[in-house]
Structure 1
Amino acid sequence: MEAASPRTTARRYFDALAAKDFTTVAGMFADDIVWHQPGGNRFSGTHRGSSAVHEMIGGMMAVSGGTFELSTTGEFMVNGALVAAPVRFAGRREGGEMAMGGVDVLRIAGGRIAEVWLFSADPQAEDAFWGAV
């Protein structure tokens, strides 16, 4: 069976993420995924392997009381195996809230997400929301 195109894989991932269908999201990650989380907060840094990425996403959902949301805001841009997606993400927690734009870049290999780079419009506000390292 032929793997889906990078655009189709990215669309399925973002749709599942928006629906908070974390079972589908988890199944889309390569076992050796590399995730580059920006900033200087408790979730920042390079996370290697699907277990580490699942733990990070679970931590974000815990800190935000399940309110963290992400949706795409425009057309995907594709360059070979790379997909860039304009996004908007938001969350609430006791004592704060955050909402901003960004860009997520996914590298797709074999129909799965092999690497992710995230870019935030306001890194300082995102760090303040998630909390210090």
Structure 2
Amino acid sequence: MVAFAHLRLSLAMLLVTGVVLFGGCGPARLNVDKKYTMDVGDARAIDLEAQAKPQKVNVEFSVSEGEARVLVFRAEDAQGDEGILEAPASKALSSQRGSTGNFTVDLPPNTKARVVIRDLTKKADVTIKVTNQQ
């Protein structure tokens, strides 16, 4: 009976050690899927939390009418409602303009980011998906 108790204790310790060692091996899984009805002059943002390790973030979008610009900024470069409308595109880590698009951006460790949708040419439904590649 004592040997069985020691075996259970050893297995529990091994399990805890595995969780501690492998639990934080990569960035948290990111899978955001949004749909917005937007007009000319509108802007929307999706905030991404900082991760301890670098992330490769994939952004996919489609616009039902006209075009939009989708940009990824460091959060401090596009703060607040004014930031998502007025932050210079030159400060974006990556961006794309069109009726559909797909691009990837590398986020450094411990970097909060904002995915911004703006500069629509017509009122439209915008679908956006943001994922990270692991």
Taking structure 2 as the reference length, the TM-score comes to 0.26
Relative contact order, higher structure (CA 8 A, sep 6+):
2
Bigger proportion of residues as helix = 1
Larger Rg: 2
